[in-house]
Structure 1
Amino acid sequence: MFRIRKEFHFSASHQLTHLPADHQCARLHGHNYIVVVELAAQALNADGFVRDYHDLGALKSYIDDGFDHRHLNDVLDGPSTAENMALHFFDWCKDRWPETSAVMVSETPKTWAEYRP
């Protein structure tokens, strides 16, 4: 199996309002997010790629236009957790690139959430 990954960055605020008021994530706060999309294929295409990295520029545009410097509670359906964002970005990518195999989202240098069917 061949696998490729590409990383994207954005900054945004969010608030997990469903948590108890004394939970730190219930307060309005922000993160410098990292999103990594992974694509996989059993065989390479005629150009020798799983997929040309250039094609993944559409995800950068989607993130820049809809997520960067936004309040995620206003952008996402459901809680704006890293787990829900991983699923959201996975579904968006899978609709465009059938080779999409996973999406990882980081809120801090020490924390990652991943959606991989």
Structure 2
Amino acid sequence: MFRISKDFAFSASHRLDHLPSDHQCARLHGHNYTVRLELAAPPDELTPAGFVRDYGELSDFKKWLDSELDHRHLNDVVPGRNPSAENLAMWIYEIWSERLPELSAVKLSETAKTWAEYRP
């Protein structure tokens, strides 16, 4: 299996429900997020050029990210979910797995040291 990945960035605010009122994430705050898309394909399903998918074809994802998530309040954008890193990764996968059938995982980072991953 071949795997490729590409990172994208956006900035947004959120607050998380179901936490004690004195928890730092219960308060309104923001992050500079990194989203990593991972795509996979077996050797016999590579493009004629030998790609899992041409990285240039991920430009629609960047446009969507910029228009839908960048500089937004995620509690208003992500329907019916607490906008934790875990839930955001799963939500992005659900939206983009039909458009990118090779999508095998979405990873999301809120800080340089923390990552959440959704891999069905």
Match of 1:46 among 41, 45, 48: 48
TM-score scaled by structure 1?
A: 0.97
- Alignment match, 2:59: 57
Q: Could you state the TM-score of these two structures normalised by the residue count of structure 2?
A: 0.94
Q: 1: distance between equivalents of 2:26 and 2:91?
A: 21
- Tell me the CA shift for residue 103 of structure 1: 0.4
Segments of 4+ moved more than 2 angstroms: none
Deviation track 1:37-87 (CA, whole Å, cap 9, x = no partner) reads: 000000211121100111111110111000000000000021010001100
Using the TM superposition, give the Cα deviation of residue 95 of structure 1 relative to its aligned residue in structure 2, in angstroms. Answer: 1.0
State the partner residue of 2:85.
82
Secondary structure of the equivalent of 1:105?
strand
Aligned to 1:69: 71
1:1-42 CA deviation, whole Å, 9 max, x = no partner? 111101000000000132111111000000000000000000
SS in 1 for 2:3: strand
Q: Which runs of 5+ in 2 are unaligned?
A: none
Which amino acid is the alignment partner of residue 13 of structure 2? S
What code does the residue aligned with 1:57 have? S
> Hey, what does 1:26 align to over in structure 2?
26
Using the TM superposition, name which of 60-69 and 11-20 deviates more: 11-20
Residue identity over aligned pairs, in percent, reads 61
Aligned residues between the structures? 117
- Measured on the aligned residues, the alpha-carbon RMSD in Å equals 0.8
SS in structure 2 at match of 1:6: strand
- Asked whether 1:103 is paired with 2:106, we answer yes
Gaps of 5+ in 1: none
